[in-house]
C-alpha cells in the first residue's frame, strides 16, 4: 500500500472516529449546560497535563527507534517505556493526593475525579503506543478499526448515561473513564500478542528513552499551555460556564485537526524512510513539493471552514452555545498554522534535536499564556481573547520551528533554487 492510499485510509478513519465525537455535540449541547461542559473541560485540562509527565513522549521515542533497531530489541525498548510510564503514573497519583484539596478549591474539580484524570492519562498513553506501532507498520485498517471501536464505546455509554440516566457531566466523564481504561487493557494484550512486550528492565534503553523524552517535557508542556492550560484562566476569571462555551467552540474547530493528524500519521513513516537513506537533492525536492501541495490544500479547507462556520452553527449547537461561533472561526485559523508546523517538525524529531525544539515551543506557550492573561485577566476581555492569542502563538511557533528544522536538517524549501540543484 503506497503513501497516498495510507493517507486516504487514515483520513477516512480519522473522520469516522472524530465524526462520531462530533455528532455527539449537537445532542449533548441540548442536554448539558455550559456549566457541565465547563467541568468536563476542566477534567480534560488536568488529564492532558498529567499525560505530559506520565507519557513522556514514549510513542515518539518508539517511532524514532523503529527503523534503527531490530524487532527483538524494539520489544525490550517498548517494555522499558511502559515500565517508566507506570513509575511516572505513581508519582502523579502522589501529587494529586498532596494537592487535591487546593485543586478542588481553585478549579472546582471534585477530588475523586482528580484521581480519575491520572488514570485516564495513563490509559490513553498505553493505547497510543499500540496505535503508534500500527502507524509505523503502515497498517491503517488495524489502527482505524481499533480507534473507532473505542470511540463508539465511549459515545454509546455517554449517550446512555447523559440522556437516559440524566447523569449530566458525571455520566459523560464516566463513559470516558470506562472506555479509555478498557482499551488500555486490550492494548496491552495486543502488544503482548504482537511480540512487543519482553519484560526486561535495561538501563541502556531507559537512558535512551529519557534522553529523548526529558527534553520533550517542556515541548509537551508548552503545547498543553497553548491548547489546554489557557482554559484555567477562563475558569479563574470568567467562570465555569464561559469555559464550557469556549471548549465547545474549540472542539468544533478541532475538526481541522482530524485531517492534519491523519496526514501526519500517513506521511511521517515514509518521510523517515526517505531521509534515513542518504536522499539525493531530487528526493528532497520531491518531499518539499508534496509538503507545499498539502499546505495549499489545508489553506483552502481553512478558508472554507472560516466562512461556513456562522452558517452551520444554528443547526449544530443548542441555543446556549451559539456565541461560540467566533471562537471556532479563530481557532480554525490557528489550526491551519498547526498543520504547517506538522509539515516541518518531523525533521527535528528524526535527528533527535528535541532540546531546542522544547525551548522554542515552551517559550511560545509562555508567550501565549501571558498574552491571554493580559487580554482576559487584566483588560477584562471575554473568552474570545484566548482564541485571538492562539492564532498569534500558532503563527509564531510555525515560523520558529520551520527555521530550526531547516537548520538541523536542511531541505530545499526555496523553489527559486530548485533548478540550481543546490540545497
pLDDT in tens, the chain (423 residues): 666 677 678 778 877 877 787 788 888 888 999 999 999 999 999 999 999 999 888 788 888 887 777 778 888 888 898 999 999 999 999 999 999 999 998 888 999 999 999 999 999 999 999 998 988 888 888 988 999 999 999 999 999 999 999 999 999 999 999 999 999 999 999 999 988 888 778 888 888 888 888 877 887 887 788 778 888 888 888 888 888 888 888 888 877 776 776 666 666 666 777 777 777 888 888 888 888 888 888 888 889 989 998 898 888 887 888 888 888 999 999 989 988 998 888 888 878 787 888 888 888 988 988 888 888 877 766 778 888 888 999 999 999 999 999 998 888 888 887 876 554
The pLDDT assigned to 268 comes to 64
The pLDDT assigned to 124 comes to 93
Domain positions in the chain are: 31-214, 224-423
Under a CB-based contact definition with an 8 Å cutoff, are residues 51 and 124 in contact?
Answer: yes
Q: How many other C-beta atoms lie within 10 A of the C-beta of residue 166?
A: 10
Q: Which residues contact 44 (CB under 8 A, 6 or more apart)?
A: 228, 247
Closest of 289, 296, 293, 299 to residue 412, by C-alpha: 289
Under a CB-based contact definition with an 8 Å cutoff, are residues 328 and 389 in contact?
Answer: no
Under a CB-based contact definition with an 8 Å cutoff, are residues 338 and 399 in contact?
Answer: no
Q: In this structure, what C-alpha cell is assigned to residue 32?
A: 448539558
Task: For 179-204, write each residue's pLDDT tens digit.
Answer: 999 999 999 999 999 888 887 788 88
Q: What is the DSSP letter of 160?
A: I
Task: For 126-143, write each residue's pLDDT tens digit.
Answer: 999 999 898 888 888 898
Give first-to-last CA distance, the chain, whole Å: 31
Tell me how far apart the alpha carbons of residues 417 and 423 are, in angstroms, rounded to a whole number.
Answer: 8
Tell me how far apart the alpha carbons of residues 228 and 46 are, in angstroms, rounded to a whole number.
Answer: 9
Under a CB-based contact definition with an 8 Å cutoff, are residues 391 and 251 in contact?
Answer: no
The pLDDT assigned to 136 comes to 85
Tell me how far apart the alpha carbons of residues 406 and 400 are, in angstroms, rounded to a whole number.
Answer: 10
Q: What letters, b where the CB count within 10 A reaches 16 and e where it falls short, cover 172-193?
A: bbbbbbebbbebbebbbebbee
Tell me how far apart the alpha carbons of residues 179 and 156 are, in angstroms, rounded to a whole number.
Answer: 10
The pLDDT assigned to 226 comes to 76
Under a CB-based contact definition with an 8 Å cutoff, are residues 129 and 58 in contact?
Answer: yes
Tell me how far apart the alpha carbons of residues 260 and 273 are, in angstroms, rounded to a whole number.
Answer: 20
Tell me how far apart the alpha carbons of residues 18 and 261 are, in angstroms, rounded to a whole number.
Answer: 11
Closest of 98, 34, 27 to residue 234, by C-alpha: 34
Amino acid at each position: 500500500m503506497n503513501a497516498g492510499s495510507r493517507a486516504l485510509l487514515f483520513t477516512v478513519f480519522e473522520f469516522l472516529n472524530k465524526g462520531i465525537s462530533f455528532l455527539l455535540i449537537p445532542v449533548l449541547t441540548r442536554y448539558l449546560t455550559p456549566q457541565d461542559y465547563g467541568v468536563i473541560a476542566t477534567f480534560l485540562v488536568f488529564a492532558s497535563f498529567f499525560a505530559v509527565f506520565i507519557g513522556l513522549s514514549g510513542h515518539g521515542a518508539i517511532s524514532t527507534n523503529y527503523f534503527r533497531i531490530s524487532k527483538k530489541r524494539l520489544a525490550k525498548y517498548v517494555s522499558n517505556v511502559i515500565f517508566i510510564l507506570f513509575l511516572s503514573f505513581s508519582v502523579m497519583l502522589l501529587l494529586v493526593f498532596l494537592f487535591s484539596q487546593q485543586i478542588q478549591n481553585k478549579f472546582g474539580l471534585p477530588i475523586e475525579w482528580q484521581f480519575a484524570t491520572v488514570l485516564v492519562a495513563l490509559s490513553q498513553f498505553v493505547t497510543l503506543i499500540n496505535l503508534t506501532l500500527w502507524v509505523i507498520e503502515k497498517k491503517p485498517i488495524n489502527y482505524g478499526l481499533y480507534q473507532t471501536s473505542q470511540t463508539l464505546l465511549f459515545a454509546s455509554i455517554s449517550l446512555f448515561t447523559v440522556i437516559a440516566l440524566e447523569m449530566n457531566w458525571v455520566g459523560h466523564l464516566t463513559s470516558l473513564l470506562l472506555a479509555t481504561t478498557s482499551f488500555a487493557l486490550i492494548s496491552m494484550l495486543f502488544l503482548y500478542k504482537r511480540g512487543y512486550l519482553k519484560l526486561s528492565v535495561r538501563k541502556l534503553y531507559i537512558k535512551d528513552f529519557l534522553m529523548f523524552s526529558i527534553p520533550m517535557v517542556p515541548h509537551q508542556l508548552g503545547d498543553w499551555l497553548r491548547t489546554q492550560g489557557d482554559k484555567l484562566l477562563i475558569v479563574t476569571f470568567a467562570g465555569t460556564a464561559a469555559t464550557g462555551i469556549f471548549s465547545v467552540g474549540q472542539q468544533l474547530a478541532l475538526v481541522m485537526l482530524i485531517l492534519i493528524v491523519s496526514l501526519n500519521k500517513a506521511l511521517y513513516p515514509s518521510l523517515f524512510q526517505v531521509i534515513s537513506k542518504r536522499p539525493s537533492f531530487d528526493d528532497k525536492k520531491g518531499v518539499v513539493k508534496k509538503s507545499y501541495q498539502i499546505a495549499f490544500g489545508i489553506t483552502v479547507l481553512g478558508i472554507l471552514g472560516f466562512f461556513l462556520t456562522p452558517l452551520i452553527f444554528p443547526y449544530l449547537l443548542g441555543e446556549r452555545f451559539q456565541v461560540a461561533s467566533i471562537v471556532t472561526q479563530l481557532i480554525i485559523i490557528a489550526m491551519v498554522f498547526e498543520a504547517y508546523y506538522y509539515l516541518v517538525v518531523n525533521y527535528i524529531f528524526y535527528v533527535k534535536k528535541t532540546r531546542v525544539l522544547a525551548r522554542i515551543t515552551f517559550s511560545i506557550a509562555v508567550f501565549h499564556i501571558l498574552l491571554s492573561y493580559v487580554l482576559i485577566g487584566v483588560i477584562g476581555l471575554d473568552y474570545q481573547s484566548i482564541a485571538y492569542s492562539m492564532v498569534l502563538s500558532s503563527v509564531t511557533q510555525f515560523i520558529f520551528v520551520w527555521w530550526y528544522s531547516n537548520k538541523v536538517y536542511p531541505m530545499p524549501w526555496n523553489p527559486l533554487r530548485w533548478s540550481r540543484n543546490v540545497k
